[in-house]
Amino acid sequence: MSAPAGPTPDRIMQIITGGWASAILGSAARHGVFDALEGGGDAKSVAGKTGISTRGAQAVLDGLTGLGLLTRAGAQYRNTPEAEAFLRRNKPSYLGGMAEVMSGSLPEWATLPEAVKTGEPTAATTADMADNDFWHVLVPAIAALSFPVAQIAAERLQLPKAGAVSWLDVGGGSGVWSAVWLQANGAGQGYQLDWPLVNSIATGFVGKFGVGERFHTIDGDFHEADFGDAKYDYGVLGHIAHQESPDSNIALFRKFRRGLKPGGTLVINDFILDEERNGHPFAMMFAAQMLLVTKEGTAWRQSDYRNWLSAAGFTSVDIVPTPTPSTLVFAK
């Protein structure tokens, strides 16, 4: 008997159970399941290596296989190439930390219907979290998203040939941009402005790349801090503008314009939509994340950035897509 013609509920069911998928992946990452599967293994061996229950191991292994992250032959499970690349803890591309953060935020996402109704955030915001230990989890977790984008930007700017340049990374988090750029340019000096706790995390993170002696931190809130006058060759603003209001972004870009040397370039990395509000699926869903945790943030459009940068005194704006959910903006 042939299947009925017309739409099926499969994609809708996949979306409905998206929270299950996030929880399964986050649990596996937290307990090191993908590392335990190096060379393959069954539920009993994974339980022994990770300290979780055999029943729990079996449930997670089945779930990960259903999600396409493991393969199975009999009782033996193995990581797929995708899982090997992005879910092994020893890889710079590791996304398991982000999976842990996302699965842990599921209770906050349960409040989204109220945020949709009121237009006001219903989850905890980062405004009062300068000293929160949460940053120890989040900051390294999201670094992997910026690795390839920072490399793309370094190549476009020809940083390896740029000589003794310096840059200011505002709200730089883990310091991943400086880690990548300092490796690309052996004479460069990286400066990061962020909260003291975040900067301490970044110092340790960048130090692991062997370039820590050229990485400098400035403790403070970027809303209030002075970026100086004509001090830097480059400015970096990664995943900050989405949480700010239009007026706040214009003010921020003006401080960058003043802080850059003549001919200097501001590099913005963010989830950006086109004029029809289309873009990478992650970027399009990100607007709901901003509704949940900010008063005015969203996934802004390309024209928003062009208008704000023009108002701030930048005369040249180049918007460049990347193979990731992020878009790069180069402004002079």
Residue pointed to by tokens 């949480």: 243
Q: Which of 110-124, 245-259, 307-321 has the lowest mean pLDDT?
A: 110-124
DSSP string, 133-161: THHHHHHHHTHHHHHHHHHHHHHHTTGGG
- State mean pLDDT over 115-127: 83
Residue 228 CB neighbour total at 10 angstroms = 14
The answer to whether domain 10-104 and domain 122-331 are alike in fold is: no
In this prediction the pTM is 0.91
**Distance between CA atoms of 154 and 100, rounded to whole angstroms?**
29
**Distance between CA atoms of 189 and 66, rounded to whole angstroms?**
46
**Distance between CA atoms of 332 and 326, rounded to whole angstroms?**
20
Nearest CA among 75, 28, 65, 66 for reference residue 49: 28
Query: Chain-wide mean pLDDT for the chain?
Result: 93
Locate 22 and state its tokens.
């996030």
State yes or no: pLDDT of 90 exceeds 90.
no
Where do the domains of the chain lie? 10-104, 122-331
The fold for domain 10-104 equals Arc Repressor Mutant, subunit A (1.10.10)
43 within 8 A of 64, measured Cβ to Cβ: no
- State mean pLDDT over 170-198: 96
State yes or no: pLDDT of 303 exceeds 80.
yes
pLDDT of residue 142: 78
pLDDT of residue 42: 97
pLDDT of residue 126: 53
pLDDT of residue 293: 92
First to last CA, the chain: 64
pLDDT of residue 49: 97
| Each residue's pLDDT tens digit, 226-252 | 999 999 999 999 999 999 999 999 999
**If one looks up domain 122-331 in CATH, what number appears?**
3.40.50.150
**Distance between CA atoms of 214 and 166, rounded to whole angstroms?**
10
291 within 8 A of 298, measured Cβ to Cβ: yes
- State mean pLDDT over 82-99: 91
| Each residue's pLDDT tens digit, 258-296 | 999 999 999 999 999 999 999 999 999 999 999 999 999
pLDDT of residue 136: 62
Strands of 74-186, DSSP E = 76-79, 166-170
